[in-house]
Amino acid sequence: MKEDDSFKEFVIDQLAGFGAAARPMFGGYGLYKGDAFFGIIIKERLYFKTDATTRLPYEEQGMKPFKASATQTLKNYMEVPPDILEDAEELKSWARTAAALKKPVNKKR
């Protein structure tokens, strides 16, 4: 079992009853609730989708955005604080918030 597999299993166990599914993605896993992509598991870290209104609790705990590469940072995906990760009920609450965020509307014409 890969290192990320055991961490993924831990995250899925913590989210039991929430209905999250993990799918392989770019060397890690994407977290989905139905069709909603709301999280990333990679290198034994968990990141949830945020926006301008939901990012503050992450920043207040000193958490950083997901750095996909040396040149690319996904600022809308913030690392979940360890104390939240350890508390299954709180983690589910944060997951609900992340999964409820809508995709931005593409306004190109």
CA–CA distances in Å: residue 66 to residues 27, 45, 74, 103, 108: 14, 9, 5, 18, 26
Q: Which residue range(s) make up the domain with 49? A: 3-100
pLDDT value of residue 29: 96
In a domain, 54, yes or no: yes
Is the pLDDT reported for residue 80 higher than 50?
Answer: yes
Within-domain flag for 105? no
Residues in a beta bridge with 65:
78
A 10 A CB-CB count for 58 gives 21
Q: What's the domain count of the chain?
A: 1
Residue 87 counted as domain residue: yes
Residue 107 pLDDT > 60: no
Q: So what's the pLDDT on residue 9? A: 96
- Residue 69: the pLDDT is 87
Say if residue 105's pLDDT is above 60: no
Say if 109 falls within a structural domain.
Answer: no
Say if 93 falls within a structural domain: yes
What is the CATH number for 27? 3.30.1460.30
Is 108 a member of any domain?
A: no
DSSP 8-state class, residue 27 = T
pLDDT bin (cut points 50, 70, 90) of residue 1 is very low
**DSSP single-letter state for residue 8:** H
15 inside domain = yes
pLDDT in tens, 28-58: 999 999 999 999 999 999 999 999 999 999 9
This prediction has a pTM of 0.89
Is residue 12 in a domain?
A: yes
